[in-house]
Amino acid sequence: MRSDYRTGDVEVKGGRLRVGVWGADDAPVVLAVHGVTANHRSWALVADALPDVRLIAPDLRGRGRSGELPGPWGMAAHADDLAAVLETMAVGPVLVVGHSMGAFVAVATGERHPDLIGEVLLVDGGLPFTAPVDLGPAQQRLAMTFESATAHRDFWRQHPALRDEWNPTIVDYVDYDLVGVAPRLHSSVSIDAVTADSAELSGGDEAGLSRRLSLITVPRGLVDEPPGLYPEEVTRAWQARLPQLEVIRLADLNHYTVVMTPAGAGQVAAKIKNLLAR
């Protein structure tokens, strides 16, 4: 972890939201929003590739050190939490980048709090799915217990999307997710939060998609399977409906490695730099 990494808490409805920060206080600000069962440390490698940026990344309500925050959940609730973070920690409007469900939260934040949000970068998420995404394996994991941090790491190391790309940042990420007391350690993520949030990710609603958007897609999905969450024919159809949508198709990455490996994070960071320079 970078030496300038630190954490703090922001008052939100129902309690305090944990926020991770990388970078100098006077640097350009990027707000980074993680996925449905993730936490803010999924952004560590992107932060490493942006040494001149102040990257602000919260643990969303029901995840990480915000895991005890109560519902209601949903994109609107997360968007209001992010507005509280920006009003407390930054000067808007800022660039927001969201990965997976975090991309949907980014869109909702731009819709509900347009004065706080500038450019929006979606990373393998944010455009409604035509059918519900199968989160069954992830939800099963949330119900599991582990006798030790090592056992938890060993479980994750077999994940099809990560086993060939295992690195110290992933170790830190999975360790951070672990809470409780051995031998009944468990994920910090609320199953109720995941259930409520995932219900909002599918359908054809274009609400919040009127602004200029950039979307990064990858060729493989949640378990490293092709064709990924947004096949080319799907993004072409979205571009026909949303001419302001820019699509960037990356190669040789999956839904996790696009932010959690140096190769993927470097390309996401390069696009962030491009957007900051506009």
CA distance 39 to 26: 25
Q: What is the mean pLDDT of residues 244-266?
A: 97
- Tell me whether residue 183 is exposed, middle or buried, using C-beta atoms within 10 angstroms of its C-beta: 0 to 12, 13 to 18, 19 or more: exposed
Q: What is the mean pLDDT of residues 27-56?
A: 97
Q: Which region among 18-22, 75-79, 209-213, 234-238 has the lowest average model confidence (pLDDT)?
A: 209-213
The encoded tokens of residue 2 equal 């970078």
CA distance 53 to 29: 6
Sign of CA dihedral 118, 122, 128, 132: negative
Q: What is the mean pLDDT of residues 52-80?
A: 97
Q: For position 124, what pLDDT does the model report?
A: 98
Q: What percent of the chain has pLDDT over 70?
A: 97
- Which residue segments constitute the domains of the chain, with CATH numbers given? 6-135+189-276 (3.40.50.1820)
Q: What is the CA radius of gyration of the chain?
A: 17
Q: For position 207, what pLDDT does the model report?
A: 62
Q: For position 205, what pLDDT does the model report?
A: 63
Residue 136 has pLDDT above 80, yes or no: no
DSSP-derived pairing of the beta strands 29-33 and 213-217: unpaired
Q: For position 211, what pLDDT does the model report?
A: 86
Q: Which region among 36-40, 101-105, 201-205, 219-223 has the lowest average model confidence (pLDDT)?
A: 201-205
Q: Which region among 17-21, 75-79, 89-93, 191-195 has the lowest average model confidence (pLDDT)?
A: 89-93
Q: What is the mean pLDDT of residues 204-233?
A: 89
**Helices 168-177 & 149-157 angle (0-180, nearest 10):** 120
CA distance 191 to 188: 9
Residue 140 has pLDDT above 90, yes or no: no
Nearest to 173 by CA among 53, 277, 81, 265: 265
Tell me what the pLDDT averaged over the chain comes to. 94
